[in-house]
Amino acid sequence: MARVLVTEKIAQPGLDQLAAAGHEVDIQLDLTPEQLLEVIVGAHALIIRSATTVTAEVLEAGRDLVVVGRAGIGLDNVDVVRATELGVMVVNAPQSNIVSAAEQAMALLLAQARNIPQAHSALVAGKWERSKWEGVELYEKTLAIIGLGRIGALVAQRALAFGMTLIAYDPFVSAERAKLMGIEMVSLDEALARADFITIHLPKNKETIGLLNAETLAKTKKGVRIINAARGGIVDEAALADAIRSGHVGGAGIDVFEKEPTTESPLFELSSVVVAPHLGASTAEAQDKAGATIADMVELALAGDFVPFAVNIAAGDVSEMVRPFMGLAEQLGRFVGGLVDESPSKVDIGFHGELAGTGTGILTLSVLKGLLGSHSDEPVSYVNAPAIAESRGLEIDETSSVTSHDFVNLITVSAGGHSVAGTLTGIGNRIEPRIVSVDGHALELSPAAHMLVVRNDDRPGMIGVVGTALGNAEISVDSMAVSPSAEAGTALMVLSTAEALADDVIAGLVGSAGIQAVHRIEL
């Protein structure tokens, strides 16, 4: 099985799960960057948290890597672009710590409003400073939520319970959806101008770095209080410190910093600032969820299955209707790849029936994975299939139609002058893939590991020719479908065999009278 390198502490049940699946779990903590470059060699999976930096150099050294798993949400420490180029899947656990992160934001909000850490420090130092640490209520204050994703929505639910008025800025959330949550959607400038409290729940990227800076902080209401439990660098720490010193900003609760770990920040010297060392995901529950989730994702990736939380696969969410067709789509792509003599310049993929319009991006990726893999010595995955297709100049034409005359659902794949179509049959736990057309010939048989497509003259005795050749080679035929073509005077045989046919058997068939073409298909 695979070697899974773990460089940071994750919950033990997740490690036990990987070991139970037969993988070698290699735990090596507190590695230097130089040591990581050495131990990554030969690893098939790498599991990290936030302290390990997975650079392009690390990825290039780990030539056997299939997947990098981040037991958490943020991927600031992983070169996702280079991983994608190398065909390495990057996965995270996006839902593992959302409750913990939302609760941390609320804890900072309350602690900052009521000066709890400052009062605690004074009291244990022997000072009863009741009047000095007077705070403010949350009730009827306006909270601006910048970023209304999963965590922002959970913060909104909790803030409503405190009687706060909620406004939010998020260009990807509709006003109608926000209204259902009791939130008014506004522009960023309006959110800054109206808020008594501002809480940040955005990813860190080139658009969000420095979002709250000297210019935008100047647009806020005097006395506003800032909460950041998202990512360091979204708030300019120096600008925030200046705004607090000037009295324009009333205070802040900060869990994340531009450079981590750190023990130095201009915010640390300000008494109206509450800080924590990135504790948003630091709960026992979040760590258990992250460990279990990342073990699931790594196990799926190593098995070559689709991974729901892969961040560098451009396929979108996979519905329960689409998921069962993924294996069939890959088989159809590989089948067509076996029919064409060289890498094609274009592939046409059609989705017909109920499948049409149901988010078939992953099925297109599956077809590409199969098609490109049939003509490549390098591994082709859901991750690198689009890049390989682009590098080969492969044009992809995807169409959908709700019309499917003979089947509830049908997938068709055409490339290089050849075509194949397939569907799923059965119900419940007895759903099975079927190939129902090859090069326009209607037939029906199950995909198999070893298949043979023979085009021959449509005359008596041709099945015997093929059967005799296989019999002489001691190759058993598991199934066969025959489809004549009256117009062309030819017929098509598609067979599945117990083992792959050797080159000399194929050559013998090609040289037989009446045999026009033979294609060996390996699925």
How many angstroms separate the CA atoms of 172 and 233, rounded?
Answer: 21
Q: Which residues contact 359 (CB under 8 A, 6 or more apart)?
A: 316, 317, 318, 319, 322
Could you give the 3-state DSSP secondary structure of residue 240?
helix
Residue with tokens 């067709």: 325
Residue with tokens 């997975």: 54
How many angstroms separate the CA atoms of 420 and 442, rounded?
Answer: 10
Residues in a beta bridge with 521: 451
How many angstroms separate the CA atoms of 462 and 456, rounded?
Answer: 7
- Report the side by side order of strands in the sheet with 395-401: 395-401, 346-353, 409-415, 418-425, 432-438, 441-445
Nearest to 277 by CA among 292, 267, 290, 287: 267
Degrees (nearest 5) of the Cα angle 36, 38, 40?
65
Residues in a beta bridge with 484: 491
Are 97 and 280 contacting, i.e. CB atoms less than 8 angstroms apart? yes
How many angstroms separate the CA atoms of 287 and 257, rounded?
Answer: 21
Could you give the 3-state DSSP secondary structure of residue 227?
strand
Catalytic residue numbers read 231, 260, 278
Q: Which residues contact 315 (CB under 8 A, 6 or more apart)?
A: 361, 362, 364, 365, 382
Token output for 419: 């075509």
Could you give the 3-state DSSP secondary structure of residue 119?
helix
Residues in a beta bridge with 472: none
Residues in a beta bridge with 519: 453
List own/partner pairs for 117-121 with CB under 8 A and 24 or more apart. 117/274, 118/271, 118/274
